Amino acid sequence: MKAVYIDAGTRDEAYLDLGAEAFRRALTAVGVTDLRFELFEAGHYGIEYRYPLGLQHLAERLTP
């Protein structure tokens, strides 16, 4: 695995932001270094505008 991108809304209706933060801490604890983590001001729905951010981050790391 070359990189991990995690994001979550601070107003997620299912509180997935809490899970995302726990996942980030666990990855950091096992030594994952290329990790991008973002919390943004929104809920769980209507966040399609965020997809290009994650895809760009990951695509840059997959490009030789």
Q: What are the tens digits of pLDDT across the range 35-57?
A: 999 999 999 999 999 999 999 99
Euclidean distance between CA atoms 62 and 8, whole angstroms: 23
Contact (Cβ atoms closer than 8 angstroms) between residue 3 and residue 61:
yes
Task: Sketch the domain layout of the chain as residue ranges.
Answer: 4-62
Contact (Cβ atoms closer than 8 angstroms) between residue 1 and residue 30:
no
Euclidean distance between CA atoms 28 and 10, whole angstroms: 20
pLDDT > 90 in the chain, percent: 88
Q: Give which of 15, 63, 55 is closest to 36, Cα–Cα.
A: 55
> Average pLDDT in the 1-15 region?
93
63 pLDDT band (50/70/90 cuts)? confident
